[in-house]
Protein backbone atom coordinates (compact mmCIF):
# COMPACT_ATOMS: atom_id res chain seq x y z
CA UNK A 1 0.00 0.00 0.00
CA UNK A 2 2.98 2.31 0.49
CA UNK A 3 4.62 1.60 -2.90
CA UNK A 4 3.21 4.71 -4.52
CA UNK A 5 4.80 7.01 -1.96
CA UNK A 6 7.65 9.18 -3.23
CA UNK A 7 10.11 11.54 -1.63
CA UNK A 8 9.66 10.54 1.97
CA UNK A 9 12.15 12.23 4.26
CA UNK A 10 13.62 10.75 7.44
CA UNK A 11 11.71 12.02 10.48
CA UNK A 12 14.95 13.15 12.17
CA UNK A 13 18.54 13.86 11.15
CA UNK A 14 21.45 11.46 11.71
CA UNK A 15 24.15 13.90 12.89
CA UNK A 16 27.74 13.09 13.83
CA UNK A 17 28.37 14.09 17.45
CA UNK A 18 29.88 17.54 18.03
CA UNK A 19 32.93 17.98 20.28
CA UNK A 20 30.82 19.30 23.15
CA UNK A 21 27.25 20.14 24.18
CA UNK A 22 25.61 22.15 26.91
CA UNK A 23 23.66 19.03 27.92
CA UNK A 24 24.09 15.35 27.10
CA UNK A 25 21.32 12.87 27.77
CA UNK A 26 22.37 9.22 27.82
CA UNK A 27 19.72 6.88 26.39
CA UNK A 28 17.25 7.44 23.54
CA UNK A 29 14.36 5.65 25.18
CA UNK A 30 11.09 7.36 25.99
CA UNK A 31 12.50 9.22 28.99
CA UNK A 32 15.71 10.45 27.34
CA UNK A 33 13.87 11.67 24.25
CA UNK A 34 11.12 13.34 26.28
CA UNK A 35 13.77 15.05 28.42
CA UNK A 36 15.51 16.43 25.35
CA UNK A 37 12.18 17.58 23.93
CA UNK A 38 11.16 19.45 27.08
CA UNK A 39 14.67 20.91 27.58
CA UNK A 40 14.22 22.56 24.19
CA UNK A 41 10.52 23.31 24.44
CA UNK A 42 10.14 24.41 28.06
CA UNK A 43 13.59 25.81 28.80
CA UNK A 44 14.97 26.90 25.42
CA UNK A 45 18.03 24.66 25.81
CA UNK A 46 18.74 23.23 22.36
CA UNK A 47 22.50 22.57 22.50
CA UNK A 48 21.65 19.02 23.53
CA UNK A 49 22.69 15.54 22.36
CA UNK A 50 20.90 12.29 23.15
CA UNK A 51 23.44 9.45 22.95
CA UNK A 52 22.08 5.96 22.27
CA UNK A 53 24.15 2.78 22.29
CA UNK A 54 21.78 0.95 19.91
CA UNK A 55 18.91 2.35 17.91
CA UNK A 56 16.43 4.94 19.05
CA UNK A 57 13.43 3.32 20.72
CA UNK A 58 14.99 -0.17 20.82
CA UNK A 59 14.84 -0.45 24.62
CA UNK A 60 11.91 -0.77 26.98
CA UNK A 61 9.99 2.05 25.35
CA UNK A 62 9.36 -0.31 22.43
CA UNK A 63 8.92 -3.43 24.55
CA UNK A 64 6.24 -2.60 27.08
CA UNK A 65 2.55 -3.49 27.23
CA UNK A 66 1.65 0.19 26.62
CA UNK A 67 -0.53 0.75 29.70
CA UNK A 68 -0.99 4.33 30.83
CA UNK A 69 -2.71 5.13 34.16
CA UNK A 70 -2.60 7.42 37.20
CA UNK A 71 -3.91 5.15 39.95
CA UNK A 72 -1.17 5.35 42.55
CA UNK A 73 -1.77 5.64 46.27
CA UNK A 74 1.08 7.47 47.98
CA UNK A 75 1.85 11.19 48.03
CA UNK A 76 4.92 11.64 45.91
CA UNK A 77 3.73 9.23 43.27
CA UNK A 78 0.11 10.43 42.94
CA UNK A 79 1.00 13.99 41.91
CA UNK A 80 3.71 12.80 39.54
CA UNK A 81 1.56 10.25 37.68
CA UNK A 82 -1.39 12.62 37.70
CA UNK A 83 0.73 15.19 35.88
CA UNK A 84 1.85 12.49 33.46
CA UNK A 85 -1.70 11.43 32.56
CA UNK A 86 -2.62 15.05 31.89
CA UNK A 87 0.35 15.36 29.55
CA UNK A 88 -0.70 12.12 27.82
CA UNK A 89 -4.13 13.60 27.23
CA UNK A 90 -2.63 16.41 25.15
CA UNK A 91 0.39 14.60 23.74
CA UNK A 92 -0.85 14.08 20.19
CA UNK A 93 -1.60 17.79 19.80
CA UNK A 94 1.68 18.69 21.52
CA UNK A 95 3.82 16.52 19.22
CA UNK A 96 1.53 16.63 16.17
CA UNK A 97 2.04 12.86 16.10
CA UNK A 98 -0.51 10.07 16.37
CA UNK A 99 0.56 8.14 19.49
CA UNK A 100 -2.77 6.28 19.43
CA UNK A 101 -3.63 7.30 22.97
CA UNK A 102 -6.77 5.34 23.76
CA UNK A 103 -8.51 6.07 27.07
CA UNK A 104 -10.29 2.75 27.28
CA UNK A 105 -9.95 2.52 31.06
CA UNK A 106 -8.25 0.15 33.49
CA UNK A 107 -9.79 -2.03 36.15
CA UNK A 108 -7.90 -3.61 39.05
CA UNK A 109 -9.94 -6.64 40.09
CA UNK A 110 -10.58 -7.49 43.74
CA UNK A 111 -11.03 -11.04 44.99
CA UNK A 112 -11.21 -10.51 48.76
CA UNK A 113 -12.83 -8.08 51.21
CA UNK A 114 -9.38 -6.83 52.18
CA UNK A 115 -8.63 -5.93 48.58
CA UNK A 116 -11.95 -4.10 48.25
CA UNK A 117 -11.09 -2.06 51.36
CA UNK A 118 -7.69 -1.22 50.01
CA UNK A 119 -9.10 -0.21 46.62
CA UNK A 120 -11.56 2.10 48.38
CA UNK A 121 -8.62 3.82 50.09
CA UNK A 122 -6.57 3.94 46.92
CA UNK A 123 -9.53 5.32 44.96
CA UNK A 124 -9.97 8.04 47.59
CA UNK A 125 -6.29 8.97 47.31
CA UNK A 126 -6.67 9.21 43.52
CA UNK A 127 -9.74 11.44 43.81
CA UNK A 128 -8.04 13.64 46.44
CA UNK A 129 -5.33 14.15 43.86
CA UNK A 130 -7.98 15.26 41.35
CA UNK A 131 -8.01 12.12 39.23
CA UNK A 132 -10.95 9.85 38.49
CA UNK A 133 -11.62 6.57 40.28
CA UNK A 134 -14.71 4.36 40.64
CA UNK A 135 -15.23 1.42 42.94
CA UNK A 136 -17.34 -1.20 41.11
CA UNK A 137 -19.28 -3.98 42.79
CA UNK A 138 -19.36 -7.48 41.38
CA UNK A 139 -22.45 -6.96 39.21
CA UNK A 140 -21.05 -3.88 37.51
CA UNK A 141 -17.77 -5.68 36.81
CA UNK A 142 -19.69 -8.65 35.41
CA UNK A 143 -21.67 -6.43 33.05
CA UNK A 144 -18.68 -4.39 31.93
CA UNK A 145 -16.21 -7.29 31.43
CA UNK A 146 -18.23 -10.35 30.38
CA UNK A 147 -15.19 -12.24 28.97
CA UNK A 148 -13.68 -12.96 32.41
CA UNK A 149 -14.20 -15.95 34.67
CA UNK A 150 -16.20 -14.22 37.40
CA UNK A 151 -17.06 -17.38 39.33
CA UNK A 152 -13.68 -19.03 39.68
CA UNK A 153 -14.25 -20.86 43.01
CA UNK A 154 -10.80 -19.97 44.29
CA UNK A 155 -10.62 -16.38 43.04
CA UNK A 156 -14.18 -15.07 42.54
CA UNK A 157 -14.33 -11.47 41.32
CA UNK A 158 -15.86 -9.33 44.08
CA UNK A 159 -15.45 -5.96 42.42
CA UNK A 160 -12.75 -3.65 41.22
CA UNK A 161 -11.22 -0.19 41.06
CA UNK A 162 -11.66 1.47 37.69
CA UNK A 163 -10.00 4.51 36.22
CA UNK A 164 -11.71 5.49 32.99
CA UNK A 165 -9.08 8.00 31.88
CA UNK A 166 -6.40 5.28 31.85
CA UNK A 167 -5.73 3.23 28.74
CA UNK A 168 -3.06 2.38 26.20
CA UNK A 169 -0.83 4.23 23.71
CA UNK A 170 1.29 3.09 20.79
CA UNK A 171 4.73 2.82 22.42
CA UNK A 172 7.02 3.22 19.38
CA UNK A 173 5.07 6.24 18.24
CA UNK A 174 5.73 7.92 21.57
CA UNK A 175 9.49 7.54 21.06
CA UNK A 176 9.25 8.68 17.43
CA UNK A 177 7.04 11.66 18.25
CA UNK A 178 9.37 12.95 20.97
CA UNK A 179 12.39 12.24 18.73
CA UNK A 180 10.99 14.23 15.83
CA UNK A 181 9.94 17.07 18.11
CA UNK A 182 13.39 17.25 19.75
CA UNK A 183 15.22 17.00 16.41
CA UNK A 184 13.17 19.83 14.94
CA UNK A 185 14.17 22.04 17.86
CA UNK A 186 17.86 21.37 17.15
CA UNK A 187 18.64 18.45 19.45
CA UNK A 188 21.21 15.96 18.03
CA UNK A 189 20.01 12.35 18.28
CA UNK A 190 23.15 10.21 17.98
CA UNK A 191 22.58 6.47 17.58
CA UNK A 192 25.21 3.70 17.78
CA UNK A 193 27.08 5.76 20.37
CA UNK A 194 27.58 3.94 23.65
CA UNK A 195 28.71 5.83 26.72
CA UNK A 196 31.63 3.89 28.19
CA UNK A 197 32.80 6.25 30.93
CA UNK A 198 32.60 9.69 32.50
CA UNK A 199 35.23 12.39 32.75
CA UNK A 200 34.98 13.90 36.23
CA UNK A 201 37.26 16.75 37.32
CA UNK A 202 37.25 18.12 40.89
CA UNK A 203 33.87 16.55 41.59
CA UNK A 204 32.21 17.86 38.43
CA UNK A 205 31.34 15.97 35.26
CA UNK A 206 32.96 17.48 32.15
CA UNK A 207 31.90 14.97 29.52
CA UNK A 208 31.52 11.34 28.54
CA UNK A 209 33.75 8.76 26.90
CA UNK A 210 31.90 7.02 24.08
CA UNK A 211 32.48 4.48 21.34
CA UNK A 212 32.66 7.53 19.03
CA UNK A 213 35.21 9.38 21.15
CA UNK A 214 35.10 11.86 24.02
CA UNK A 215 32.21 14.36 24.02
CA UNK A 216 32.33 17.31 26.39
CA UNK A 217 29.25 18.43 28.32
CA UNK A 218 28.27 21.06 30.86
CA UNK A 219 25.63 18.72 32.27
CA UNK A 220 24.89 15.02 31.79
CA UNK A 221 21.59 13.23 32.45
CA UNK A 222 21.36 9.45 32.72
CA UNK A 223 18.11 7.97 31.34
CA UNK A 224 19.21 4.42 30.64
CA UNK A 225 16.44 2.41 32.37
CA UNK A 226 17.63 -1.24 32.68
CA UNK A 227 21.28 -0.18 32.49
CA UNK A 228 21.03 2.45 35.22
CA UNK A 229 23.17 0.72 37.84
CA UNK A 230 25.86 -0.19 35.27
CA UNK A 231 26.13 3.30 33.81
CA UNK A 232 26.09 4.94 37.26
CA UNK A 233 28.84 2.59 38.33
CA UNK A 234 31.07 4.13 35.62
CA UNK A 235 30.80 7.36 37.63
CA UNK A 236 31.58 5.50 40.86
CA UNK A 237 27.96 5.48 42.10
CA UNK A 238 26.36 2.45 43.72
CA UNK A 239 22.56 2.70 43.42
CA UNK A 240 19.64 0.92 45.15
CA UNK A 241 18.59 -0.54 41.79
CA UNK A 242 18.69 -4.08 40.38
CA UNK A 243 18.08 -5.21 36.81
CA UNK A 244 15.57 -7.97 36.09
CA UNK A 245 13.86 -9.32 32.96
CA UNK A 246 10.14 -8.78 32.41
CA UNK A 247 8.40 -10.62 29.59
CA UNK A 248 5.33 -9.72 27.55
CA UNK A 249 3.15 -11.69 25.13
CA UNK A 250 0.77 -11.05 22.23
CA UNK A 251 -1.73 -13.36 20.56
CA UNK A 252 -3.12 -13.46 17.04
CA UNK A 253 -5.72 -10.81 16.25
CA UNK A 254 -9.18 -11.59 17.65
CA UNK A 255 -12.56 -9.90 17.52
CA UNK A 256 -13.10 -7.46 20.40
CA UNK A 257 -13.29 -9.39 23.68
CA UNK A 258 -11.89 -6.90 26.20
CA UNK A 259 -13.18 -3.34 26.48
CA UNK A 260 -10.19 -2.06 28.46
CA UNK A 261 -7.14 -2.97 30.51
CA UNK A 262 -7.68 -5.59 33.24
CA UNK A 263 -5.38 -6.56 36.10
CA UNK A 264 -5.90 -9.77 38.05
CA UNK A 265 -5.71 -9.22 41.79
CA UNK A 266 -4.78 -12.78 42.78
CA UNK A 267 -1.93 -13.46 40.42
CA UNK A 268 0.51 -11.23 38.66
CA UNK A 269 -1.33 -10.89 35.37
CA UNK A 270 -2.62 -7.98 33.32
CA UNK A 271 -4.13 -7.88 29.86
CA UNK A 272 -5.53 -5.56 27.21
CA UNK A 273 -6.49 -5.90 23.56
CA UNK A 274 -4.57 -3.98 20.93
CA UNK A 275 -6.24 -2.04 18.12
CA UNK A 276 -5.20 -4.89 15.78
CA UNK A 277 -7.06 -7.33 18.02
CA UNK A 278 -4.11 -9.08 19.67
CA UNK A 279 -4.37 -9.82 23.38
CA UNK A 280 -1.35 -8.14 24.97
CA UNK A 281 -0.42 -9.38 28.43
CA UNK A 282 2.27 -10.02 30.98
CA UNK A 283 2.93 -10.97 34.58
CA UNK A 284 5.84 -11.47 36.94
CA UNK A 285 9.53 -10.78 36.52
CA UNK A 286 11.79 -13.72 35.72
CA UNK A 287 13.10 -13.20 39.29
CA UNK A 288 16.83 -13.23 38.84
CA UNK A 289 19.18 -10.42 37.92
CA UNK A 290 19.85 -10.30 34.20
CA UNK A 291 20.69 -8.03 31.28
CA UNK A 292 19.22 -10.38 28.67
CA UNK A 293 16.35 -8.77 26.78
CA UNK A 294 14.56 -12.11 26.47
CA UNK A 295 12.83 -14.35 28.96
CA UNK A 296 12.80 -17.95 30.15
CA UNK A 297 10.24 -20.74 29.74
CA UNK A 298 9.11 -21.32 33.38
CA UNK A 299 7.76 -17.76 33.56
CA UNK A 300 5.81 -18.27 30.35
CA UNK A 301 3.98 -21.17 32.00
CA UNK A 302 3.48 -19.20 35.22
CA UNK A 303 1.98 -16.17 33.42
CA UNK A 304 -0.37 -18.34 31.39
CA UNK A 305 -1.58 -20.20 34.47
CA UNK A 306 -2.57 -16.89 36.02
CA UNK A 307 -4.08 -15.70 32.74
CA UNK A 308 -6.23 -18.77 32.27
CA UNK A 309 -7.51 -18.59 35.85
CA UNK A 310 -8.86 -15.14 34.96
CA UNK A 311 -9.73 -15.63 31.32
CA UNK A 312 -9.95 -19.27 30.25
CA UNK A 313 -10.44 -18.34 26.58
CA UNK A 314 -6.78 -17.39 26.50
CA UNK A 315 -5.98 -21.11 26.27
CA UNK A 316 -7.59 -21.23 22.82
CA UNK A 317 -5.75 -18.23 21.38
CA UNK A 318 -2.48 -18.68 19.48
CA UNK A 319 0.42 -16.72 20.91
CA UNK A 320 2.27 -14.86 18.17
CA UNK A 321 5.26 -13.42 19.99
CA UNK A 322 6.85 -12.95 23.36
CA UNK A 323 9.81 -10.83 24.32
CA UNK A 324 11.59 -9.36 27.32
CA UNK A 325 12.97 -6.07 28.55
CA UNK A 326 15.43 -5.14 31.29
CA UNK A 327 13.74 -3.47 34.22
CA UNK A 328 15.49 -1.04 36.57
CA UNK A 329 13.89 -2.22 39.81
CA UNK A 330 14.23 0.25 42.69
CA UNK A 331 13.99 -1.06 46.23
CA UNK A 332 10.65 0.64 47.03
CA UNK A 333 8.97 0.32 43.64
CA UNK A 334 9.14 4.07 42.97
CA UNK A 335 11.39 6.04 40.62
CA UNK A 336 14.24 8.48 41.16
CA UNK A 337 14.62 11.86 39.40
CA UNK A 338 17.41 13.66 41.21
CA UNK A 339 20.87 15.14 41.27
CA UNK A 340 23.77 12.83 42.11
CA UNK A 341 26.69 13.59 44.43
CA UNK A 342 28.69 14.53 41.31
CA UNK A 343 28.09 18.11 40.14
CA UNK A 344 26.41 18.29 36.75
CA UNK A 345 25.41 14.60 36.73
CA UNK A 346 21.70 13.82 37.05
CA UNK A 347 19.83 10.56 37.54
CA UNK A 348 16.55 9.35 36.06
CA UNK A 349 15.86 5.68 36.85
CA UNK A 350 14.26 3.04 39.03
CA UNK A 351 11.16 2.86 36.83
CA UNK A 352 10.50 -0.78 37.62
CA UNK A 353 7.69 -2.13 35.43
CA UNK A 354 5.90 1.19 35.24
CA UNK A 355 7.95 3.75 33.37
CA UNK A 356 6.02 3.91 30.12
CA UNK A 357 3.10 5.77 31.65
CA UNK A 358 5.64 8.11 33.23
CA UNK A 359 7.33 9.05 29.95
CA UNK A 360 6.00 12.60 29.42
CA UNK A 361 6.18 13.63 33.10
CA UNK A 362 9.57 12.05 33.52
CA UNK A 363 10.93 14.07 30.60
CA UNK A 364 9.16 17.19 31.86
CA UNK A 365 10.54 16.87 35.40
CA UNK A 366 14.04 15.71 34.43
CA UNK A 367 14.36 18.63 32.00
CA UNK A 368 13.26 21.00 34.79
CA UNK A 369 15.86 19.57 37.16
CA UNK A 370 18.68 19.73 34.61
CA UNK A 371 17.77 23.23 33.45
CA UNK A 372 17.19 24.84 36.85
CA UNK A 373 19.05 22.58 39.31
CA UNK A 374 15.84 22.43 41.33
CA UNK A 375 13.34 19.55 41.41
CA UNK A 376 10.07 20.03 39.57
CA UNK A 377 7.08 20.51 41.92
CA UNK A 378 5.65 17.30 40.42
CA UNK A 379 8.67 15.21 41.45
CA UNK A 380 9.71 16.63 44.83
CA UNK A 381 9.74 13.26 46.55
CA UNK A 382 11.43 11.16 43.87
CA UNK A 383 14.75 11.68 45.64
CA UNK A 384 17.77 9.44 45.76
CA UNK A 385 18.46 10.09 49.44
CA UNK A 386 15.14 8.56 50.54
CA UNK A 387 16.92 5.22 50.77
CA UNK A 388 19.35 6.78 53.22
CA UNK A 389 16.81 8.74 55.28
CA UNK A 390 14.18 5.99 55.27
CA UNK A 391 11.48 8.17 53.64
CA UNK A 392 10.81 5.50 51.05
CA UNK A 393 7.77 5.52 48.74
CA UNK A 394 6.79 1.91 49.16
CA UNK A 395 4.38 1.20 46.29
CA UNK A 396 5.82 -2.22 45.60
CA UNK A 397 2.32 -3.71 45.55
CA UNK A 398 0.41 -1.01 43.68
CA UNK A 399 2.73 1.23 41.80
CA UNK A 400 5.11 -1.46 40.79
CA UNK A 401 2.43 -3.83 39.64
CA UNK A 402 3.52 -4.58 36.10
CA UNK A 403 1.22 -2.46 34.03
P1 LIG B 1 14.50 2.45 27.37
O2 LIG B 1 13.65 2.49 26.14
O3 LIG B 1 15.04 1.12 27.79
O4 LIG B 1 15.67 3.50 27.15
C5 LIG B 1 16.96 3.44 27.73
C6 LIG B 1 17.95 3.53 26.60
O7 LIG B 1 19.26 3.70 27.13
C8 LIG B 1 17.99 2.27 25.74
O9 LIG B 1 17.63 2.57 24.41
C10 LIG B 1 19.43 1.79 25.88
O11 LIG B 1 19.96 1.19 24.70
C12 LIG B 1 20.15 3.08 26.24
N13 LIG B 1 21.43 2.86 26.91
C14 LIG B 1 21.71 2.00 27.93
N15 LIG B 1 23.01 2.07 28.26
C16 LIG B 1 23.57 3.01 27.45
C17 LIG B 1 24.89 3.52 27.31
N18 LIG B 1 25.91 3.09 28.08
N19 LIG B 1 25.12 4.46 26.35
C20 LIG B 1 24.11 4.91 25.55
N21 LIG B 1 22.86 4.45 25.65
C22 LIG B 1 22.58 3.51 26.59
N23 LIG B 1 5.47 0.59 31.83
C24 LIG B 1 4.20 1.08 31.87
O25 LIG B 1 4.00 2.19 32.35
N26 LIG B 1 3.15 0.37 31.39
C27 LIG B 1 3.31 -0.90 30.91
O28 LIG B 1 2.33 -1.53 30.47
C29 LIG B 1 4.61 -1.47 30.91
N30 LIG B 1 4.80 -2.74 30.48
C31 LIG B 1 6.06 -3.24 30.36
C32 LIG B 1 6.23 -4.52 29.82
C33 LIG B 1 7.51 -5.01 29.57
C34 LIG B 1 7.68 -6.38 28.99
C35 LIG B 1 8.64 -4.19 29.85
C36 LIG B 1 10.02 -4.69 29.53
C37 LIG B 1 8.46 -2.94 30.44
C38 LIG B 1 7.19 -2.45 30.71
N39 LIG B 1 6.97 -1.18 31.26
C40 LIG B 1 5.70 -0.66 31.34
C41 LIG B 1 8.10 -0.37 31.75
C42 LIG B 1 8.57 0.70 30.75
O43 LIG B 1 8.65 0.17 29.46
C44 LIG B 1 9.93 1.24 31.20
O45 LIG B 1 9.90 1.58 32.58
C46 LIG B 1 10.35 2.49 30.42
O47 LIG B 1 10.19 2.30 29.03
C48 LIG B 1 11.80 2.84 30.76
O49 LIG B 1 12.20 4.09 30.26
P50 LIG B 1 12.79 4.32 28.76
O51 LIG B 1 11.66 4.28 27.80
O52 LIG B 1 13.55 5.57 28.77
O53 LIG B 1 13.73 3.04 28.62
Question: Tell me: the pLDDT tens digits for 291-343?
Answer: 988 889 999 999 999 999 999 999 999 999 999 999 999 999 999 999 999 99
Residue 401: which pLDDT band, with cuts at 50, 70 and 90?
Answer: low
Residue 216, pLDDT > 50, answer: yes
**Best of 28, 29, 35 for a ligand 1 pocket test (most atoms within 8 Å of beta carbon):** 29
Residue 402, pLDDT > 60, answer: no
Q: How far is the CA of 27 from the centre of ligand 1 (A)?
A: 9
Q: What pLDDT does residue 397 have?
A: 60
Residue 191, pLDDT > 90, answer: yes
Report if pTM > 0.90: yes
Q: Quick check: CB of 351 below 6 Å from ligand 1?
A: yes
Q: What percent of the chain has pLDDT over 90?
A: 93
Q: What pLDDT does residue 7 have?
A: 83
pLDDT mean over 48-57:
98
pLDDT mean over 263-269:
91
Q: How far is the CA of 203 from the centre of ligand 1 (A)?
A: 29
Pairwise pLDDT comparison (7 vs 134), residue with the higher score: 134
Q: Quick check: CB of 34 below 6 Å from ligand 1?
A: no
Query: For the segment 58-86, what is each residue's pLDDT rounded down to a tens digit?
Result: 999 999 999 999 999 999 999 999 999 99
**Best of 64, 197, 230, 272 for a ligand 1 pocket test (most atoms within 8 Å of beta carbon):** 64
Q: What pLDDT does residue 400 have?
A: 45
Q: Quick check: CB of 27 below 6 Å from ligand 1?
A: yes
Which amino acid residue places its CA nearest to atom 31 of ligand 1? 64
Q: Quick check: CB of 243 below 6 Å from ligand 1?
A: no
Q: Quick check: CB of 354 below 6 Å from ligand 1?
A: yes
Q: What pLDDT does residue 1 have?
A: 64
Q: What pLDDT does residue 396 have?
A: 75
Q: What percent of the chain has pLDDT over 70?
A: 98
What ipTM did this prediction achieve? Answer: 0.99
38-42, 122-126, 283-287, 374-378: range with lowest mean pLDDT: 283-287
Residue 403, pLDDT > 70, answer: no
Q: What pLDDT does residue 294 have?
A: 85
Query: For the segment 150-173, what is each residue's pLDDT rounded down to a tens digit?
Result: 999 999 999 999 999 999 999 999
The 3-class SS string of the chain reads CCCCCCCCCCCCCCCCCCCEEEEEEECCCHHHHHHHHHHHHHHCCCCEEEECCCCCCCCHHHCCCCEECCCCCCCCCHHHHHHHHHHHHCHHHHHCCCCCCECCCEEEEECCHHHHHHHHHHHHHHHHHCCCCEEEEHHHHHHHCCCCCCCCCCCCCCEEEEECCCEECCHHHHHHHHHHHHHHCCCEEECCCCEEEEEEECCEEEEEEECCEEEEEEEEEECCHHHHHHHHHHCCCCCCEEEEEEEEEEEEECCCCCCCEEEECCCCEEEEECCCCEEEEEEEEEEEECCCCCCCHHHHHHHHHHHHHHCHHHHHCCEEEEEEEEEEEECCCCCEEEECCCECEEEEECCCCCCCCCHHHHHHHHHHHHHHCCCCHHHCCCCCCHHHHCCCCCCCCCCCCCC
Query: For the segment 35-46, what is each residue's pLDDT rounded down to a tens digit?
Result: 999 999 999 999
**Best of 70, 280, 355 for a ligand 1 pocket test (most atoms within 8 Å of beta carbon):** 355
pLDDT mean over 125-146:
97
Please state the atom number of ligand 1 nearest to the C-alpha of residue 357: 25
Amino acid sequence: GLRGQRGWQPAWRDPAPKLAYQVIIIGAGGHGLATAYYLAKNHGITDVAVLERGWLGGGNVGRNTTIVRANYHLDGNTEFYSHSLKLWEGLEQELNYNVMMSQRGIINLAHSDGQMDFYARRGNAMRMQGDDAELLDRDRVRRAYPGLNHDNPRFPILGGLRQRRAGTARHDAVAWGFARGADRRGVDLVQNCEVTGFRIERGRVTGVETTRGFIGAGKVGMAVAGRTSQVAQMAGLRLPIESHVLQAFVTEGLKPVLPGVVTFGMGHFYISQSDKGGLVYGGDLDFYNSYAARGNLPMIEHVHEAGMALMPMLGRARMLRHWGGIMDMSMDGSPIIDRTPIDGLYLNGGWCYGGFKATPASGWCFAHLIATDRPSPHAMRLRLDRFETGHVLDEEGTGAQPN
